[in-house]
Every structure is written in structure tokens, then in C-alpha cells.
Structure 1
Amino acid sequence: MENIKEIKKPSPSKAPPSGGGGGIHVFAPATVANVVCGFDVLGFAVNEPGDEVIMRMANKPGITISKITGDDGRLPLNPAKNTVSVSVEHYLRSIDRLDVGVDIELHKKMPIGSGLGSSSASTVAGLFAIKTLLGDESDPSALLPFAMKGEEMACGHGHADNVAPALLGGFVLIRSYEPLDVVRLPHPAGLWCAIVFPDVDVPTREARQIIRKNIQMKDAVTQWGNIAGLVSGLFMQDIDLIGRSMKDVLVEPVRSMLIPDFYMMRQMAMDLGAVSFGISGSGPSVFAFTRDEETAKRITQKLQQHLTNIKIGSNGYVSTINDAGPRVLG
């Protein structure tokens, strides 16, 4: 367990001013947020998919975005409107390095609007790239507030349940937002994740708007018990307890209506040996925990076949929990 109780500002870099043409290629992973019962407070990183950023030093101050691929033209090249460049600018301003100039290439290797933290992966890749280029040796957790600025731009709410696991790797609990208190949780080594992204549109902003604002006390008590049970199961390496605890009585009943055949897919996954099943983030992606890779592959294939049968395309991914977070590719 790693408890990051205080997010400190990165130390000013000792790197020279911009120029010289050096570059770096960074990958940052997709994430599963909420983890069924942990709305806005739980998330974990996976090995695939993810996004990539290539960042090069420029000869004059400022941030430019020269190329974006894999987005079908949906993302802005304007650095004032892109989550990657906005987050990088906040970081540079915090360390008093607005003399730095960088050029950014963003390569989307994961679907936009998938519920897998697409904007988070891009933002984290950009922040990790600039931190590395400038020789900033502070703890990566110091980048979290800047990554949350990107989330605020992307979906109107600066939550951390995607960006924290993308940045830190592993399974993460956001214990508090004011002040920001992030806890990295243990997890069973044998836990596998099957992810299926149905090709339907569930925008995050709209998905947040349909959530109930008032809840009954009995539902709140049920949810608290499930969150506590899930965290306990992670610490105890008890996959059965993890499965029993992954039930959501607050958010899933509403958001599931936006996902075709959600309950049918859940029953299919459980019949095939899933430990648990739920919505990834705001959807439409769904995920299942399993005890082994073979079961995860079988669930992914069967769910994708079902979606094909009802004329919906999909992407599928099978992964363990990614404990590494972002990494330099070259």
C-alpha cells in the first residue's frame, strides 16, 4: 500500500531552456473507473489499450500540437482547447518554466468516449513526457492536480478516478478530494480483467447528469458496505469477497439503461465464470473480473459475439491490472 497524503508541487527543473530538438515517446494506460460500487473514488489501470504522446523540445516558448492521429478529427489541435496541452501548461506555470517550448504529437490508440479514461490516458502521457524531458525527479503523484485539470476540461468535473491509476498504476482509492488524498491499494496477482467496448455513444457529461441527486439511507448503507468489502477483499487477496462486494445500487441502475443488453451481458459473463461484472467509468464499456486469462478471453469473445448478433460493433481487451502506469517507449 502507498498512501500519498499530500500532493506536492513539482520541483523546478534544472534542465536548460527550450531548444535542441530532443524528444520522447510515452505510453499511458487505459483505466477502469468507479469499479462498480466506488463512484468517483476507485479505479485501476490496465495494460491495453492506451494512448501515446511524442513530445519534442521547440526553439521558442509555447506549446504546439502538430499532429493527432486515431481520433477521426474529433480532437482540437488548438493548444488552448486540448486536455494534453492545457495540463502541460498548468505544470509549466507551476514550476515557473514558461520559457519552455514543446511540440506535441498525440496518437490515440484507444476509443474516444469508451468509458476507459481516454482523455486521462492522453493527459497523463503528456504530463509524464514533459516531466521526463525536463529532468523533474519529483514523485509522479505531484502531477495529479494538473491531470485533474485536463479531466475538468474533458467532462466538466475534475475527478481523479481515471487519472490517478493512469499516472500511478495499479488499483487506486481517492479517499478525499479536499484535501486531495490518494491511496494505492494492493490487489490479488491472479486477477484478470475482460473489457468490451460496444460501439455506442455514451458521453460522460450526459451520463453524469442522469445520476440521482438524492438517495435513500438504506441504499447509502448498502453502498458503503460494498465499498468497504471491496477494499477489504483487495487487502486480503480474497477474490470471492471482491466479487460479492462489487454491486452498485446507486449509479448502475440508471447508467445501465444507456448500454444495450447490459443485464443480459452480465448474466452471460457470470455464467461463463466471471467473479464480477459492471460498467467501466460512465460506459458504454463493460468489464468483468476473472481468476484466469482463459476465462477472461472466453467472456470477451462471447460478449463481442452477442453484440455482433444485435448489429453492434465492439472492441475487446484482456489484461491483468497494470501496476506500472505510464512508461517511456523511446
Structure 2
Amino acid sequence: MKKWVKISFSSVLIAFLMLTLAACNTNDDTKTKKLEKVRIAEVTRSIFYAPQYVALAKGFFKAEGLDITLTTTPGGDKTMTALISGGADVALVGSETSIYVYAQGANDPVINFAQLTQTDGTFLVSREKIDNFSWDLLKGTTFLGQRKGGMPQMVGEFVLKKHGIDPHKDLTLIQNIDFANIANAFASGSGEFVQLFEPTASIIEKEGKGHIVASFGKESGHVPYTTFMAKESYMKKNKATFEKFTKAIYKAQQWVKTHSAEEIAKAVEPYFPDTDRGIMKTVVERYKNQGSFATDPILDEEEWNNLQNIMREAGELPKEVDHKTLVNTEIAEKIIKK
């Protein structure tokens, strides 16, 4: 009787251990299967995209079962090439690029599905300190602008015209300097004014090489400045993936909305190891105050029309494109309702 009890106990113990191990392996397999790889190509690395880095840092993507690979592909052309060629699944870039691709007769158009920023992200920096700035002061000066055809340059020209300045007649407009070298050119003595993104503008100011005097974002109004987009065919095949992706972005947007600049700067710090925390806080605060970070992923028709108006004013709109043709708001609307 005792021998039978020992054998039974041993058998039960072994069976229990086997079941436990099997359950552990099943759970591990489930976790592995749930993580779906999604490759993002971002047009540049910028604090302007803080909600994206918050989604990564806070694990919002992973909570939705997504394993994100983030690659910086400098310039709208390179970013769109990576997307169209299959080198990326999702692109974070200006919405104007989707219009350029569509106008070229693309059979598989690029669709904007989640807006990240809703204003221009550049600032006007003056070489000299100006206590009472007015846009008229740019007349007759040399102005270092951004790349022709890109959103920063188009917004820059739109704002100048808004203040009665013809960018091609009333000042010397330089726009043939590579994006990465614009700040260096200004710091080396080129131009009296320059249009810069953050944190470069704040760094220039901290180093005493220039002074931020105006915001192009405040002047131009709401516009789909930076949006997540993907090829239409890829979105149709992966509807669930894009719902998860958009949900993670929306969580991050709400987190940024309800947290301080200091908390946001701390969260995204791993993505900017060479940037001073104080500078980061200043930059985030500046963007929050002017409403640059979209609080939800919906790219509405009014913003889309404002974008095309800015492109038209700059002479860069190849053709008028209806909002519904290149923008999908159904995913974002569904996520917000839930």
C-alpha cells in the first residue's frame, strides 16, 4: 500500500511539472506570436514628434502587440521612397508627400491615417536680439529657408506673404543648403534670419548665436504637418494592425496632453541622448503651448484644405486632391469612440 502511494505521488508530481512547463511554453509562444513587427520610417529625429517616442517609451505599442522598428530616413523623398519600395510599413512625414505621389499617377496611393502634429514646427531665429519684432524687419535681409517643396519652406513663404512680404523679391532667400547644415551655415555667419526646427533653435539661442523671435506654427494655423501614412494595399491587408497602431498613438497623444513638459522630456530622453534635459523641457513646453501636438489622430477636412492652400500659395500644389481620396479617418474615429 505504501509503495503504491509513493508511485502515485511521484506520477502526479511528474505530470504536474510537465503540465506546468507546457503551460509556460504555450504562454511564451502566445506572447511571441502577439508581437507583430511594424517598421516606421521617420523623416527626421525631432522632439516635435514627442508623442511617437512616448508611445515607444511607455510601451503603448507593445501593449497592443506591436514590435516597432524605428528608422530615421532624412528628407521627405527618402522617407517616401522607403515606404513605396517596401523598406518601411509606415512613414511619419509631411502630408504633402502623399499628394506628390498621387499626382505622379501612383497605382497604390499613400494614405494618411493618423495625424501626429497639427502645426508647423519651425521658428524664426534672428542673429541680433530684437525686443519689438515685426515681420517687416525681414525686408532687404538674407533669409536661410528650408528645402524647396517641403512643408517648412512652404509654410515659411505662406507666413511671409501673409505679412505682405514677397519671399522672392523683398529679401534674399537661400534654400539650397542641406537640411542638416542650415543651422551650421547660420552659426558661421550666413544670413540675418533663419528658419529652424527645435531643439536646434533653442540650442542656437542658448549658445548666444541667435534669438527666437517668432513661431511659424502660430502664424500658419492648423495643418497636417506630420502624419503616419501607409500604402493603401498594405492597409487593406492589415486592418487590425492599423487599429492597434492608431490606438497606441492615441494613448500617447492623451498622455502628452495630460502630463507636464518635464515629464514628457524625461520620457523621450532615451531618443535624444545628446540633448540637454533643460533644452528638451523648453522645447516641449513651447510646442505644447502653441498646440503643435495633435491630441487625437484625426486629420480633418479643414486641416487638409489649409495644407493645399499653403501648397498652392507656394506654387507647389500639383493638383487638387479631395480629402477622402488620401485620408482615412475611419480608423481614428473608431479608436476614439472605443
TM-score with structure 2 setting the length? 0.23
TM-score with structure 1 setting the length? 0.24
Which is strand-richer, 1 or 2? 1
Larger Rg: 2
